[in-house]
Homo-oligomer: A and B are copies of this chain.
């Protein structure tokens, strides 16, 4: 923007099925506890693609044009009067959900379950694929030197893995199975390693993704099919891949009957299965044989309180998310269209990132 002119804030709007348009986006006023952030890195999540294709996820329906994007980091441009922990120029990663702080979940320390959550790019709330956004300061976390803005944006997907590992109690005594090696499976693998899991086996139907998993630190990979009749043999191969260790925790990052059944059967008595993937809602599962071994199932919905830990994992090198960023784009209309195409196509694309 030239001297004296006010730059117009542009954003990527989801206006109709398969249609994204870069258009002006008027920022709300800056509250006393808010900050204004210039976006620098925004990743594309599977849910962004899903909204683009379907204009809905479950009962969340895009009825009005909505700015897309929620995995993001940027630079502080303005701070509200009550914000003391951030200054103009600070590089920050943004936690995308603003909860109500009045409901039982918020007060009880599980704010991710807030039924009044306002979450970037979950209709009717606008997202963050924009030049600038206004956001509560306490949801913006300063990045230390040595952690890039792209890595900052990766805190969002990484948070899902971190929250899953916390809920499942992954630690240095936990033999881990990860089912599904998509972006979420891979960050979950990274998180499990960072929580100290001494052995992590990961399975997928796709060879390429398994090879990425190996390069990210999986101890063993098992290629599986989508056929139910292979389940028993696959469970045996998975357990064998643990090399004598028990599977204490299985993290299902796909979310189908087959994957959850695999997880339930493979996990030792007294262990836990964590359901992260949302492939299907209805699943047919061997529940009683799990229950009598007291294999518990814990759900995962996003995350809470994860940014400081994610940033520390990145700073210390316990987690390296950079290999996950396979494609980069600018912020032109054409860039946005292409980037979503690449992300939707999958294959070798893991994380597609905008540099604004």
Residues of A participating in the B interface, judged by any CB pair closer than 8 Å: 33, 58, 101-113, 115, 136-138, 167, 171-173, 194-196, 198, 255, 260, 269-270, 275-276, 278-301, 304-305, 308-309, 312-313, 316, 318
Contacts and interface: CB of A to CB of B under 8 A. Distances in A.
How many copies the complex holds: the figure is 4
A312 B245 CA distance: 11
B290 A287 contact: no
Given A102-B138, A172-B313, A195-B196, A292 B299 contact: yes
A287 B275 contact: yes
A270 B309 contact: no
Contacts of A309: 172-173
A284 B281 CA distance: 10
Contacts of A269: 105, 113, 115
A283 B285 contact: yes
Contacts of A109: 107-110
Contact of A196 (B138, B196, B260, B294): B196
B297 A297 contact: yes
A294 B138 contact: no
A138 B341 CA distance: 45
Nearest to A273: B297
A198 B316 CA distance: 8
A36 to B, nearest CB: 17
A338 B63 CA distance: 64
A112 B112 CA distance: 20
A16 B193 CA distance: 52
A110 B281 contact: no
A222 to B, nearest CB: 22
A198 to B, nearest CB: 6
A268 to B, nearest CB: 9
| Smallest CB-CB A-B distances: 8 pairs | A109-B109, A291-B299, A102-B138, A297-B297, A101-B101, A275-B291, A294-B299, A281-B288
Contacts of A172: 194-196, 309, 312-313, 318
A244 to B, nearest CB: 10
A311 to B, nearest CB: 11
A312 to B, nearest CB: 6
Contacts of A288: 255, 275, 278-281, 283
A92 B32 CA distance: 30
Contacts of A276: 291
Contact of A296 (B115, B279, B297): B297
B284 A282 contact: yes
Contacts of A287: 255, 260, 275, 281-283, 285, 297
A122 to B, nearest CB: 12
Contact of A301 (B58, B103, B280, B291): B291
A313 B171 CA distance: 12
A288 B220 CA distance: 27
Given A107-B109, A113-B270, A172-B196, A286 B281 contact: yes
A278 B292 contact: yes
A180 to B, nearest CB: 14
A102 B297 contact: no
